[in-house]
Amino acid sequence: MEEKPDIKIVFGENLPDNSLVREIMKRAERFSVEVIEGDYTEEGATGRLYLSSQKGFIRPCPCSRKYRCCNYFTIDTIEGCLYDCEYCALKTFIDRTKILIKVDVDEMIMEMRGFMEMAHSKGRTIRIGTGELSDSLALEWIVPFAPILIEETKDSESLILEFKTRSTEISTLIGLPHNSRTTVSFSLSTEYLKDALERNTPSIGERILAAKRLLEDNYRVGFHLDPIIYYNSYERDYEGTIRLISENIPYEAISWISMGTIRFNPDLISEFRSPVLFGEYVLDAEKKYRYPYILRKEIYKKVYRLIRDYLGSRVRVYLCMESDTMNEAILSKRFKTDEELNRYIISL
């Protein structure tokens, strides 16, 4: 169980009276979290969770069209994160002192049902998840979105729900009927990078043990090796992470593993403190910094080989934000369309 952070719940006018808001207030009392009136526009306050009736939840993943995308969609339930990962892109466009909680779950459910109908009418199966603008589970102990989302998707033949997380806050998922329509994916790096760059997060081992616990409830799990960061002993250290996965998680329980090397907007450079983040980068077609092609290819080849050595050939592995050329070089696959990549990922 993760240590509970020092937070306050802030509410304003026109807050809906629904099951989620009532549960948040009940949990605030249980965990001795202060609840106060306030406004999201106030300045200088940190560690505050602002309950908002803001609408608009589902949107396509903001992948650049210059790369091969996987037709992923996001559910934006929370904006902001209590974790302090030095490389996090959120730092360039979200106020880090505030966390916005979109509590109009009736609107969210209506959007989801319409989205499921659309996917069903087109004969598509779509992955959708909550980990784009925040960690999916880090605040689950106080803002339990997961049971609502799992209930809505458990009987859908058109959606696969994904929670992307570095957290071990899985208690609200235990015991829920989900019909294997939910995958919990853990973002993993190495213990060295966790200590250097991923402040306030559980260890790599703790995340993998949380994944192992979820198997007891028949959840499928995934892993995101993203961002992979190059340093002298990265290959040895990533081998340690992948070995730990293999020792705890049977390959047939893994929905997918993604790989992606670090990429960031130029504005993020001012946030860098750790020497491991300083190296050779090039500006890509969408004006983001990333490692040169040759170095990325070398990194992917080595990490991909480790995945195959420890987890076998049947686990689905895909690259995030990479070109068709890189996909072919690493995976020996050339996806003609984004939907073809999506079907490859979900063909369990």
pLDDT of residue 62: 85
pLDDT in tens, 283-316: 998 899 999 999 999 999 999 999 999 999 999 9
Q: Which of the pair, 241 or 11, is modelled with greater confidence?
A: 241
Structure tokens at 310: 């420890």
pLDDT at residue 66 is higher than 70: yes
Return contacts of 13-22, CB within 8 angstroms, 24+ apart: 14/53, 15/51, 15/53, 15/103, 16/53, 16/103, 16/104, 16/106, 18/103, 18/104, 18/105, 18/106, 19/105, 19/148, 20/103, 20/105, 20/143, 20/144, 20/145, 20/148, 21/51, 21/103
Residue 183 lies in a domain: yes
pLDDT of residue 292: 98
Range(s) of the domain holding residue 298: 8-346
Residue carrying the six token digits 């050329």: 325
Report the number of distinct structural domains present in the chain: 1
- Cα–Cα distance between 288 and 150 in angstroms, integer? 35
> Mean pLDDT in the chain?
95
pLDDT at residue 107 is higher than 70: yes
Q: Which of the pair, 107 or 43, is modelled with greater confidence?
A: 107
Q: Which of the pair, 66 or 87, is modelled with greater confidence?
A: 87
Mean pLDDT of 129-151: 97
pLDDT in tens, 14-63: 899 999 999 999 999 999 999 999 887 676 667 899 999 999 999 999 88
* Interstrand relation of 48-52 and 34-37 (parallel, antiparallel or unpaired): unpaired
pLDDT of residue 114: 97
Residue 1 lies in a domain: no
Cβ-contact 81, 132 below 8 angstroms: no
pLDDT in tens, 243-271: 999 999 999 999 999 999 999 999 999 99
- Cα–Cα distance between 272 and 238 in angstroms, integer? 22
Provide the CATH number for the domain around residue 307. 3.80.30.30
Mean pLDDT of 4-17: 89
Residue 2 lies in a domain: no
